[in-house]
Amino acid sequence: MTTEWHFYEPAHGHGLAHDPLNAIVAPRPIGWIGSVSRDGVRNLAPYSFFNLLAYRPPLLGFSSQGWKDSVANIAATGVFTWNLATRALAEAMNASSAAAGPEVDEFALAGLAVTEGQMVAAPRVAAAPVSFECRLTQLIRLETKEGDPIDQWLVIGEAVGIHIDRAMIEDGVYQTARARPILRGGGPTDYFEPGECFHMRRPAPPQA
């Protein structure tokens, strides 16, 4: 059977109902990033352009479309946390994705208890079974192939402290599925956990 290809040049649009790019590179882990402003306002936001980048030292990174509060806070303080988003915390994670001003504490907005980092002055999601405390190593503005800067910011941090719920460890081995981590799909509502897909819509933008 001959394959019929849908080919497109991204610079000229994809010609489909929804951009397929992030549906193809999926499912992806969620960067649930905790930070705090210089004024002491806590921020919590999920990023789907996220992953572990290196073992030694443990480096992880997330990419933000636009200079959002998380990026501004991390640029100012040099620290942040990553918190494991799980099925039990999915609704709270989704609530924390709401478009809110820099004066809003998304931990409070999502009804989440907070605990402070031991190694860095950044907030953690108390209920998350795993959290990383991170120090900023690089903040990079991304560019096009022509070298033109775009409004996309890559934040890379080194995990200097890692918290793991001991219930997730068996015989010295972390049990990935036991925590029921959730992953981002490509559609506007698609999230996954191992063996299951579920659907959520992001909160509507606040009315002016």
CA atoms of 176 and 5, how far apart (whole Å)? 36
Give per-residue burial for 69-103: e unless 16+ CB within 10 Å, then b: bbbbbbeebbbbbbbbbbbebbebbbbbbbebeee
Provide the pLDDT for residue 27. Answer: 84
CA proximity to 156, closest of 19, 31, 15, 11: 31
Contact 150, 140 (CB under 8 A): no
Distance separating the N- and C-terminal Cα atoms of the chain: 54
Provide the pLDDT for residue 200. Answer: 81
pLDDT tens digits for range 62-109: 999 999 999 999 999 999 999 999 999 999 999 999 988 999 999 999
Mean pLDDT value across the chain: 93
How large is the average pLDDT for residues 166-181?
93
pLDDT confidence band for 195 (50 / 70 / 90)? low
Q: What CATH class has 24-199? A: mainly beta
Q: The dihedral of CA 10, 66, 77, 44: what is its sign?
A: negative
The residues that bridge with 193 in the sheet, in sequence order, are 196
CA atoms of 193 and 51, how far apart (whole Å)? 16
Provide the pLDDT for residue 208. Answer: 64
pLDDT tens digits for range 14-33: 999 888 888 888 788 999 99
Contact 79, 122 (CB under 8 A): yes
pLDDT tens digits for range 36-50: 999 999 999 999 999
Provide the pLDDT for residue 33. Answer: 98
The residues that bridge with 47 in the sheet, in sequence order, are 31
How large is the average pLDDT for residues 138-162?
98
CA atoms of 147 and 194, how far apart (whole Å)? 39
pLDDT tens digits for range 109-134: 999 999 999 999 999 999 999 999 99
Q: Return the structure tokens found at 107.
A: 């931990």
Domain range summary for the chain, segments of one domain joined by +: 24-199
